[in-house]
Every structure is written in C-alpha cells, then in structure tokens.
C-alpha cells in the first residue's frame, strides 16, 4: 500500500499546492480514499518505542524538539507501553542521537522484538535532502543527527530503511513518525525490493521539497497526532486496539494549518547544525491485506 498525503510542520515554508509533483491537499485522506480501512483483527504483540529528538543547542538553528518527544513518550507510557528508549542531544538521556548509537539502538530493539510486535520510531529534528539521480524522486531524504562531540552527522533514507528491513523479523510491524523537513522519503518506500510484504508505515512532516511548521509549542504534525490520540472516542477505541493508522491520520489532517495560516518566510538549510522542517506525510506499507494497523 502507498500513501502520499502531506502535512505541515516545523520551519515555515510554502505548502504543496495542487499541481505540484506528488501533491495532495489537506482535504484529501489516507490512500486518497473516503472509506477507511477497519481493524478486523487487532495485533497481539507489544508496542516498543524509540524516541529520537534533537534541539541543536549552540547552533545557528536551534529547535525545541525534545518537547515533542516527551509528549509522545508520556502518552505511550500512559498507554502501558513499557519498552521506551529516549535519545536526546541535550545530555539528559543515556543514549545520544549520533548515527552510530541510533544504529545500535535499532539493532537492540530488533533483538527484543518478537513476531507481531509493533516497533515505533519517532524522530523530531532537522531533516534535509541530497541529490541522487538514481532515486525515483531524484533526491534522498536525510535525518540530521549529531555526535556527542557536537559534530553534524546524517543518516540517509536508504541506510535507515536497510537497517530496519534487515534487522527486524519480517512479522514485526514498523511505524516511523518523522516530524522533520524533507522527510517524505525517509523510509525509501518508493524503492522496490526493500520492504517486500512487510507491514511498514511511515508518517512524515513534509515532502522532500518542503520545510516543516513549528507552532512555537511543538511541531504541527506532532501536535495534530496528539490531539487525535487524546480524543475521548479515540481513547476508547485504542483500549480495544481498534484504531487504524488510517483512522488517526485522517483526523490529523483536520488539525493541520491551512496554507494561508502558515508563515511565508523560509528557514535556512541545515549547515553546521542548521536546517528546517515542515509538514508532510508519507506512508509505505507493503502488505496485501486491506485492514490497517492499529495505532
């Protein structure tokens, strides 16, 4: 299954408009279909969450992404998720979001995950792109990480997708939430042969050619997600594991800012700790089943 629907988030920039490449509007929905998929058989495994957030303190483009990650992990903990690891660049977590440590932590989660478990990777931080003539879009999406010494590091979509697809059991379900600029292709969903029939979904803050919107109190995409998950009706459905990702995404769209509400100025590109973000969403799920995973 393929999803192309764009949200908006951190780092004000022009939102995609009808006519743009791979563009959909805020009125469109998951799979661009009106009918929502239903959860016919709730998954029986455990949810395991890896939350990565970077504030880039001391750089020319600081953010406050740990606020987003704290809210996500707090909600997960309140939902009885016990396997949670945080990786912040502020020095308050044991694990640091360097490229090497992120790879190690993904491998550690893969070792713990059993068939039918749900691995969730949440990322809030800067994102960027680099040209790649061999990519379907002509670009690769990158996560902007940092070493413990404060050096800029990047993780390319091909690398992240390869690590996850090779490390996890084929029956482990994977959800990637990337609230970052240029993050639409972060799971390399448009490259054949990586995911096969795996159950994989990626929700991103913006398209590869966009930045993300910051509300001043968290990213727009993360805030929209939290608003939906905190709804009374959704909370009841979550207790029964009857909420599909499609159901949640459709309602996230309702909370996203309209184009005329977004600021027009652009963030600078990420250099020496700089970058921007906006809002986009993408999903890749290589499955022949029509029902969607529960959030």
What does the domain layout of the chain look like in residue ranges?
2-11+41-284
Q: For residues 182 and 156, give the distance between their C-alpha atoms in angstroms, rounded to a whole number.
A: 12
Does CATH place domain 2-11+41-284 in 3.40.50.1460?
Answer: yes
Paired tokens of 245: 């990702």
User: Band of the pLDDT at 246, cuts 50, 70, 90?
Assistant: confident
Element housing 95 (H / E): none
Q: Contact 234/164 with Cβ under 8 angstroms?
A: no
Facing residues of 278 across strands? 212
Q: What pLDDT does residue 288 have?
A: 32
**Over residues 107-118, mean pLDDT:** 96
Radius of gyration of the chain measured on its C-alpha atoms: 17
Angle at 259 between CA 255 and CA 262, to 5 degrees: 85
Which of 113-122, 151-160, 248-257 has the highest mean predicted lDDT (pLDDT)? 113-122
143-171 CB burial, b ≥16 within 10 A, e <16: bbbbeeeeebebbbbbbbbebbbebbeee
pLDDT higher than threshold 50 for residue 70: yes
Tens digits of residue pLDDT in 183-215: 555 666 666 666 777 888 888 765 555 556 666
> Considering the chain, what is the average pLDDT of its residues?
74
């Amino acid at each position: 299954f393929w999803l192309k629907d764009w949200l908006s988030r951190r780092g004000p920039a022009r939102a995609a408009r009808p006519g743009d490449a791979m563009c959909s509007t805020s009125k469109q929905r998951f799979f661009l279909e009106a009918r929502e998929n239903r959860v016919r058989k709730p998954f029986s495994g455990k949810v395991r969450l890896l939350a990565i957030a970077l504030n880039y303190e001391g750089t020319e483009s600081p953010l406050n992404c740990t606020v987003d990650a704290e809210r996500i992990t707090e909600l997960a903990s309140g939902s009885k998720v016990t396997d949670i690891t945080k990786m912040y660049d502020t020095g308050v977590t044991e694990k640091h979001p360097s490229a090497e440590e992120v790879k190690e932590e993904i491998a550690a989660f893969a070792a713990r995950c059993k068939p039918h478990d749900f691995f969730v990777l949440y990322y809030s931080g800067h994102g960027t792109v680099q040209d790649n003539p061999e990519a379907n879009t002509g670009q690769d999406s990158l996560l902007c990480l940092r070493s413990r010494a404060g050096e800029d590091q990047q993780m390319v979509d091909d690398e992240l997708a390869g690590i996850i697809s090779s490390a996890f059991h084929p029956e482990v379900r994977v959800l990637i939430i990337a609230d970052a600029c240029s993050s639409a292709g972060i799971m390399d969903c448009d490259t054949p042969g990586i995911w096969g029939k795996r159950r994989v979904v990626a929700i991103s803050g913006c398209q590869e050619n966009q930045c993300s919107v910051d509300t001043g109190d968290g990213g727009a995409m993360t805030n929209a997600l939290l608003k939906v998950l905190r709804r009374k009706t959704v909370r009841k459905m979550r207790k029964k594991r009857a909420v599909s990702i499609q159901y949640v995404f459709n309602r996230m769209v309702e909370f996203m800012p309209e184009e005329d509400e977004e600021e027009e100025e652009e963030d600078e590109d990420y250099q020496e700790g700089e970058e921007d973000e906006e809002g986009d969403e993408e999903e890749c799920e290589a499955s022949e089943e029509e029902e969607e995973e529960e959030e």
